[in-house]
Amino acid sequence: MTSPRSRLLVRLLAVLVMFVGFAGQFVRNLLGWIGFGVVDGLLAVAVVVAIILLRPRMAWRRVPKSLVAFLLLAVVSIAWSFYPGASAAGAGVLIVTTLAGVFLGLCLSWAELVRTFGVALRWILGLSLAFEFWTAAVSGPILPFFFDASQYGEPPYPKAFYWSRALLLHGGPIEGIVGNRNLLGFVALLALIIFAVQLAAKSVRRFWGIFWLVVAVAVFLLTRSATVILAAVVVAVAVGFVLWARRANPDGRRPIYLTALGTVVVVVGASIALFPVILKLFGKSEDFTGRFDIWSAVIHLAQQRPAFGWGWVSYWAPWVHPFSDLAERKGVVYLQAHNAWLDVWFQLGVVGVVVFGALIVSTLWRSWFTAIDRPRHGLATDEPYAAITLVPVLLMAALLAQSLAESRILIEGGWITLVTLCLITKRSQSSAERIP
């Protein structure tokens, strides 16, 4: 599949994968779980066929062992799982999602990957603004199409039930087609990274690049997501350190690392000391919108099975114990721990946290040196290189920041992005591929 037409099909499939990965809730709200299953199944088949036809190569010694170990641990956890049926389903979802990341990480060039992210994110942002305008000006607050609200009495229902609360003309917060302001805000943050890189690399027309950058900023602000604002601060700090490291001699980077370590210590200490003030500043309740209660419940269960956990489940399964009432707040049952690290500890124990940590650290390590070191093995050294190689480390910074308040790095678009970055940085580390 090397003809222009076949590469166009590959890129189209890649855009669909990323779109559904980050806007899966849009498909579920529109078509229901059955419709979502059909769409997901068709995409999975297409991805497998594409991988078979493209036959991407990676020597076993170059395969990220931490990624393989995490997948094996999740699958094997079925053997000791408290809910083996749900674990089997969760392992299947994890494998399918991983295949999507394998397709993106091994079958696309760097330029195609950035372009894929850009197109998918533009569609999500554009459709979200159009959807929010329609609900604000025409329909009013809207529930998911396949949601039966009759069991909850008369409206208004809990905020989390609504697909959109039609608040665009009031300045937000808006939920967009993804039905969640934190997720939409995070998509906008990823878009800011990608669109800025594309502008710097001159891979898009300046007018349209600036236009979509403004759209991303507008959506980012309209979501009013405190967690995403904090993630944006982390990304901005990462940009500063990367640019500093690029200008420094490789032998003179110790002050950079010491400053980075000091910054982390100071920020963590200040966050703990000033946490009530920070919550008030962002309009959050004292329990961090219920997260403290959820974390406490998850920690209590994790301590009962600390070594290997209760069994992998990916999405929490609300039809099995203990998920049916583990994280209920104001009539809403939440299906994640709102912290990826606690979620991994709960599901796969300390062993899972160690393996997941190895996956994160190794991917972040390669992403960092991809961003700050002039490439070897014949990689490009022109200006597009300078911009495009920022993508992995900045996306990793965003994912890691989000992982402290959300578990989305373990599912759908978050996991796809992590696997993609893990593989493409590993691939470029050992190949003569030009980054742009």
Let me know: does 95 contact 71? Beta carbons within 8 Å: yes
- Residue 131 vs residue 370, higher pLDDT: 131
Q: What is the C-alpha separation between 263 and 238, in angstroms, rounded?
A: 11
Tell me the torsion sign for CA atoms 426, 429, 432, 436: positive
Tens digits of residue pLDDT in 300-348: 999 999 999 999 998 888 888 888 777 777 667 778 888 999 999 999 9
Residue 111: per-residue pLDDT: 87
> What is the arithmetic mean of pLDDT over 403-407?
90
Question: Any idea which of 220-229, 241-250, 369-378 has the lowest mean pLDDT?
Answer: 369-378
One DSSP character per residue, 193-260 reads HHHHHHHHHT-S-HHHHHHHHHHHHHHHHHHT-HHHHHHHHHHHHHHHHHHHHHHS-GGG-HHHHHHH
Where do the structural domains in the chain lie, given as residue ranges?
A: 64-107+284-436
Q: What is the mean pLDDT of the chain?
A: 86
Averaging pLDDT over each range in 3-7, 122-126, 156-160, which range is the top one?
A: 122-126
Model pTM score: 0.91
> What is the arithmetic mean of pLDDT over 107-124?
93
- In the chain, % of residues over pLDDT 90: 55
Tens digits of residue pLDDT in 145-182: 877 766 666 677 778 788 889 899 998 899 999 999 99
Helices 4-22 and 412-429, packing angle to 10 deg: 140
Q: What angle do CA 271, 333, 154 make, to 5 degrees?
A: 120
Residue 331: per-residue pLDDT: 64
- In the chain, % of residues over pLDDT 70: 87
What is the SS3 assignment for 317? coil
Whether 380 has a pLDDT exceeding 50, the answer reads no
- Residue 213 vs residue 282, higher pLDDT: 213
- Residue 55 vs residue 68, higher pLDDT: 68
Kindly state the DSSP code that residue 161 receives in the 8-state scheme.
G
Let me know: does 367 contact 419? Beta carbons within 8 Å: no
